[in-house]
Amino acid sequence: MLLAIDIGNTRIKVAVFEGSTLIEPFYFNSANLQNELYFILNKYKKVSELVVASVGNIPKEAFSEFESQVNIHFISSNFPFTFNNNYSTPNTLGIDRMVLANGAVLKYPKQNRLVIDAGTCITYDFIDENDNYLGGAISPGIRLRYESLHNYTAKLPLLKLEFLSDENSETEEIPLIGNSTSEAINSGVINGVIKEIEGFISQYEAVYPKFIIILTGGDTEFLAKRLKNTIFANSNFLLESLNQTFQHKIKND
């Protein structure tokens, strides 16, 4: 069994895999890392491999006490990925984006792919049918947009996606014309994100008539119900890609 760990900017996402099957996911913050790993490894004693992809600030030494229980592997830019990295600054490309690109290549071979990761940031990554990683875009995610409006103004309140869910059903559209400060913020943030994503997709379609869209990240479920485009929505795609990336390496060593 394998334990895949994705250390993001906000949360740590973990999943136990048996082959290609995701057995159970876990989500927690960095302060609970070691306690959570003790719990997971005690619950799943057959886990023998631990694979980490990190864009956070947790040092490798934080995992050293588990070395007697499992083999620990850290994914870095030197990992033998299956795509050609055509990024002009390859060493600055985030490991999370590299793992997502690799997962897209392995899961959807010989296709143009656009991976949209809607988390703390919204990242767009395009890999063509010849497995060339071409690059993409980075913009603030939903939470960052709410926080920036509050932190860089004198009077705007801090809203959260949870606040929005209390007022609207999961599929109800956000009013274009906000009739209160809170509604106006929600309109700007949510409608802005949706129009941004749909705008990017439209621009890609003008260059690449055929490609698949993979939506992942913490805001996947919320956004998937509001986007008009046909997408593959999978909030655990990064964890699955991390597992698939490692399994592919083992098979080809």
Pair 46, 238: CB distance under 8 Å:
no
Phi, psi of 2 (to 5 degrees): -125, 140
CA distance 44 to 77: 29
Eight-state DSSP code of residue 174: P
Catalytic-labelled residue, pool 96, 117, 125, 219: 96
CA distance 203 to 180: 33
Pair 18, 34: CB distance under 8 Å:
no
Distances (CA, A) of 127 to 105, 106, 134, 161, 174: 8, 11, 6, 30, 32
For 74, counting Cβ atoms within 10 Å of its Cβ (0-12 exposed, 13-18 middle, 19+ buried), the class is middle
Which conformational region is residue 109 in: left (phi greater than 0), alpha (psi within -120 to 50 degrees), or beta? beta
Q: Which two tokens stand for residue 166?
A: 């209390």
Instruction: Examine the residue annotation and report whether 96 is marked as an active-site residue of this protein.
Output: yes
Active site residues: 96
